[in-house]
């Protein structure tokens, strides 16, 4: 979320922070256990797989259709008794209209003027209309003649209800209950209750693409589910390009609209908001796409982005169905990351959700819409699909040392980066052997469930959940202290297991130089120290990687690390005050190595006055490398380092004048 913003005009921006957790769901009736026909002695982890087989047989729905629809609804996760933001339950995501919104936050966020932002009930689009309800849980319960409570809490009953709804839709269309999946295209289009033709067609496209490709997954509940590939199933024509406002920049297969963020003066002192005019990529290259979550409901965020005293971002994505709303043109600079330097080079995308409750907010349809949008933007602007260019708000480098404690944590440890990069078409995988001197963090999301606290109150343990994050220790032992971040906690407090504490964590897809190995443990260079994580061969949390690293030039004991790549003094025009370098409170010492995937041009934009035209970009001759220095990114001067090639572990020829690597 954009709760901290790059420094602009004093008093112009305010923080919009929601710290309350979601309320617990209401007490539910005891679940009705409906056993699959295969019998009670089945393997416990096959119960859901057998439920799909039995329900497909009972209601004469192709099993591949039923499995694929469920995957698109929930990735086969059940979350027993817990509704999604749209009020959907179980692996078929059946919606109960009376429960058609997620539990309300304990307290509404407060606007800068002191007014509470009340949370409208239901999911509301930018135009104010209510979303069409997806598959109705109560109707499904009537069709299979069981109490609605059973479909909320029992996955087997939920699957039966979804199969019954698909069969009823097929009959309503006047079509036979055929064994051919292709005959079910229209029934699939209608299943999620999508309001527009573009989204419905895209949803069906995804369902049938998955049928052709097949899938296997271990669910959050430990169920092993497989959809065998059926490559012979034909594709249907894609969606037509919808009529959209001229401002919208969006791929054809997404449903997108426009809700403008204001660019206007807010007081007599010349303060203005809530973004800057620019002419990107002509005046400055777009190099990053930043993934946020809102830490608020989307209706509240729509109010925020229309407030000129608040922050801004380029796109919002709705949790319930993945609908996209654009607020700022991509050529202009939104105030979203907490770093003016990153804002000038990035596009910010907000995802409706709370990092402490991923199961109810980080929906499959939101992941897929987001990935489609990012693929479109990355192709348009030449942004590399890697974790040094597609990163979270929690990976944004702090611009100065004193800003480190104020940087943000979203989308948090439960965002599934591996799945997200699969959807981007750039899967994260090993690119070198296990003994490489460079590793990529890559735990198995479904089974990697480290302990977290703070999801429902200080100190309380979070429910176990798949995670993209791996913890770091000072020694190769489970009971060793966690690594400390002196910038994040300058008072010397220790890192904790709190879900929002980034001080001792690395994340899926991030790459680091190996500093040491000991048995099942691997050490990486992390903020100037050796940091250890458990990496057993049978359940690895990291894989071998190839690429390039930087190390201080011979003769330099240590070099400064920066949160931005600023020009040299001579680059600033006469009359413009030079921006201070402000090194971060860390050092990169001789013998240490850090991964780089890109060279960076130095630049600065002095946007401090309201203007009808973009301010000029100051471009320097100084070159930097962007490095994975800790949980966040950082920059080092190219003249301070030599390049090391990790594919063989040997040093390459020093690059005295490095070019724009990775471009």
Residues 561 and 530 in one domain: no
Does residue 344 sit in the same domain as residue 264? Answer: yes
Residues 76 and 195 in one domain: yes
Compare 204 and 651 and report the one with higher pLDDT: 204
Q: With 80 as the cut, is the pLDDT of residue 659 above it? A: no
555-591 confidence digits (pLDDT tens):
999 999 999 999 999 999 998 989 988 899 998 999 9
Confidence check: pLDDT of 481 > 70: yes
Nearest to 348 by CA among 290, 390, 397: 290
pLDDT at residue 73 greater than cutoff 90: yes
pLDDT value for 407: 96
pLDDT, mean of residues 171-189: 95
For residues 401 and 491, membership in a common domain is answered with: no
Q: Is 175 exposed, middle or buried (0-12, 13-18, 19+ CB in 10 A)?
A: middle
Look at residue 38 in the predicted model and tell me its pLDDT: 39
Is the pLDDT at 469 greater than 90? The verdict is yes
For residue 335, pLDDT beyond 80? yes
* Phi, psi (degrees; rounded to nearest 5) at 205: -55, -45
Closest CA to 662 of 547, 561, 526: 547
pLDDT of residue 52: 98
User: CA 254: distance to chain centroid?
Assistant: 18
Q: Are the C-beta atoms of 230 and 184 separated by less than 8 Å?
A: no
84 pLDDT band, cuts 50/70/90, is: confident
Tokens of 154: 């029992």
288 & 305 share domain: yes
Q: Give the DSSP H or E segment for 151.
A: helix 148-153
Q: Tell me: do 382 and 438 sit in the same domain.
A: no
Percent of the chain with pLDDT over 90: 72
Q: Which of the four pLDDT bands, split at 50, 70 and 90, describes residue 1?
A: low
Residue range 194-201: average pLDDT? 84
Segment 624-644 mean pLDDT = 97
| pLDDT computed for residue 14 by the predictor | 34
- How confident is the model at residue 654, as a pLDDT? 37
Please indicate, yes or no, whether residues 261 and 404 belong to a single structural domain of this protein: yes
Domain count along the chain: 4
Whether residue 577 is contained in a domain is answered as yes
Question: Could you tell me if residue 262 is inside a domain?
Answer: yes
Q: What is the pLDDT of residue 609?
A: 84
**pLDDT in the model for residue 239:** 59
Mean per-residue pLDDT, 126-154: 78
Structural domain containing residue 612 = 549-651
Of the three residues 359, 382, 413, the one that is the final residue of a domain is: 413
Report residue 646 as tokens.
Answer: 């990790």
9/141 same-domain check: no
Mean pLDDT value across residues 359-366 = 90
Mean residue pLDDT of the chain comes to 86
Let me know whether 476 and 596 are in one domain: no
pLDDT at 104: 35
Residues 382 and 444 occupy one common structural domain: no
Contact (CB, 8 A) for 404 and 301: no
Better pLDDT: 352 or 79: 352
Please check the confidence at residue 13 and state whether its pLDDT lies above 60.
no
Answer yes or no: is 608 within a domain. Answer: yes
Is 283 inside a domain boundary? yes
What is the mean predicted confidence (pLDDT) over 240-252?
83
Q: Which residue has the tokens 């050092």?
A: 587
Percent of the chain with pLDDT over 70: 85
Q: Write down the pLDDT at residue 42.
A: 56
- The string of pLDDT tens digits covering residues 215-234 is 999 998 899 999 999 999 99
Q: Lowest mean pLDDT: which of 287-296, 338-347, 571-580?
A: 571-580
Cβ contacts of 93-96, under 8 Å, gap ≥ 24: 93/134, 93/135, 93/192, 94/134, 94/135, 94/136, 94/137, 94/140, 94/151, 94/158, 94/161, 94/162, 94/165, 95/133, 95/134, 95/135, 95/136, 95/137, 95/193, 96/136, 96/137, 96/138, 96/148, 96/152
User: In the Cβ-directed half-sphere of 615, how many Cα atoms lie within 13 Å?
Assistant: 17
Q: Do 531 and 558 fall within a single domain?
A: no
Q: Is residue 496 part of a domain?
A: yes
Q: Would residue 238 count as lying in a domain?
A: no
pLDDT surpasses 50 at 160: yes
Q: What is the pLDDT of residues 21-61, one digit of tens each?
A: 333 333 333 333 333 333 444 588 999 999 999 999 999 99
Q: Which among 134, 154, 133 is positioned nearest to 144, based on CA atoms?
A: 154
Q: What is the CATH number of the domain that holds 325?
A: 3.40.80.10
Lowest mean pLDDT among 16-25, 88-97, 381-390, 413-422: 16-25
Instruction: Judge whether 116 lies within some domain.
Output: no
188-197, 328-337, 596-605: the lowest-pLDDT one: 188-197
- What confidence score (pLDDT) does residue 113 get? 30
> Of 86, 89, 94, 175, whose CA–CA distance to 131 is shortest?
86
Q: What is the mean pLDDT of residues 263-273?
A: 91
Q: What is the pLDDT, as a whole number, of residue 269?
A: 85
Average pLDDT over residues 263-270: 90
pLDDT at residue 111 greater than cutoff 80: no
Res 205 pLDDT > 50 = yes
| Residue finishing a domain among 194, 227, 260 | 227
Whether residue 342 is contained in a domain is answered as: yes
Q: Does residue 535 share a domain with residue 553? A: no
CATH number (domain holding residue 160): 1.10.530
Among the candidates 387, 413, 439, a domain finishes at 413
């Amino acid at each position: 979320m954009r709760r901290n913003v790059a420094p602009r005009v004093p008093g112009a921006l305010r923080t919009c922070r929601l710290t309350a957790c979601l309320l617990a769901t209401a007490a539910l009736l005891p679940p009705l256990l409906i056993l699959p026909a295969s019998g009670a002695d089945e393997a416990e982890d096959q119960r859901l797989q057998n439920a799909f087989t039995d329900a497909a047989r009972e209601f004469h729905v192709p099993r591949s259709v039923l499995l694929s629809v469920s995957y698109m609804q929930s990735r086969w996760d059940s979350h027993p008794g817990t509704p999604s933001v749209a009020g959907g339950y179980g692996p078929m995501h059946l919606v109960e209209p009376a429960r058609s919104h997620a539990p309300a936050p304990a307290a509404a966020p407060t606007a800068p003027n002191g007014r509470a932002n009340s949370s409208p009930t239901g999911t509301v689009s930018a135009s104010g209309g209510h979303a069409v309800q997806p598959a109705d849980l109560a109707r499904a319960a009537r069709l299979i003649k069981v109490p609605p409570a059973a479909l909320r809490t029992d996955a087997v009953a939920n699957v039966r209800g979804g199969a019954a709804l698909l069969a009823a839709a097929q009959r309503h269309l006047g079509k036979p209950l055929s064994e051919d999946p292709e005959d079910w295209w229209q029934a699939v289009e209608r299943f999620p209750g999508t309001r527009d033709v573009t989204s419905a067609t895209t949803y069906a496209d995804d369902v049938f693409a998955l049928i052709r490709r097949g899938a296997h997954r271990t669910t959050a509940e430990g169920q092993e589910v497989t959809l065998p590939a059926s490559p012979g199933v034909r594709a249907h024509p894609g969606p037509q390009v919808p009529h959209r406002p001229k401002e919208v920049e969006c791929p054809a297969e997404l449903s997108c609209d426009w809700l403008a963020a204001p660019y206007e003066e807010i007081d007599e002192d010349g303060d203005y908001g809530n973004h800057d005019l620019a002419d990107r990529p002509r005046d400055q290259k777009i190099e990053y796409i930043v993934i946020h979550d809102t830490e608020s409901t989307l209706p509240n965020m729509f109010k925020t982005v229309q407030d000129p005293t608040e922050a801004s971002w380029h796109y919002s994505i709705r949790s319930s169905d993945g609908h996209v709303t654009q607020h700022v043109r991509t050529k202009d600079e939104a105030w979203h990351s907490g770093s003016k330097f990153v804002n000038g080079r990035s596009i910010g995308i907000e995802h409706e959700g709370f990092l402490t409750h991923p199961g109810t907010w980080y929906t499959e349809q939101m992941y897929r819409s987001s990935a489609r949008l990012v693929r479109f933007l990355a192709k348009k602007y030449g942004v590399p699909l890697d974790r040094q260019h597609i990163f979270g708000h929690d990976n944004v480098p702090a611009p100065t040392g004193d800003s480190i404690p104020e940087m943000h944590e979203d989308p948090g440890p439960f965002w599934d980066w591996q799945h997200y990069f699969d959807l981007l078409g750039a899967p994260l995988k090993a690119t070198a052997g296990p003994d490489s001197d460079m590793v990529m963090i890559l735990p198995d999301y479904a089974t990697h469930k480290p302990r977290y606290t703070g999801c429902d109150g200080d100190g309380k343990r979070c429910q176990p959940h798949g995670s993209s994050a791996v913890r770091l220790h000072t020694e190769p032992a489970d009971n060793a202290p966690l690594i400390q971040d002196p910038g994040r906690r300058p008072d010397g407090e220790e890192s904790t297991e709190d879900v929002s504490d980034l001080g001792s964590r690395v994340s899926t897809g991030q790459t680091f130089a190996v500093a040491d190995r000991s048995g099942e443990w691997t050490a990486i260079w992390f903020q100037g120290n050796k940091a250890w994580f458990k990496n057993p061969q049978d359940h690895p949390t990291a894989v071998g990687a190839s690429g390039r690293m930087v190390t201080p030039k011979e003769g330099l004991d240590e070099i400064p690390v920066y949160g931005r790549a600023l020009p040299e003094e001579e680059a600033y025009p006469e009359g413009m005050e030079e921006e201070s370098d402000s090194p971060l409170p860390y050092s990169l010492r001789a013998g240490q190595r850090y991964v780089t995937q890109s060279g960076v041009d130095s630049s600065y934009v002095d946007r401090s006055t309201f203007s009808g035209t973009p301010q000029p970009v100051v471009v320097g001759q100084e070159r930097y490398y962007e490095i994975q220095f800790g949980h966040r990114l950082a920059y080092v001067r190219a003249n301070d380092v030599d390049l090391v090639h990790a594919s063989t572990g040997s040093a390459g020829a020093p690059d005295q004048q490095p070019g724009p690597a990775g471009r």
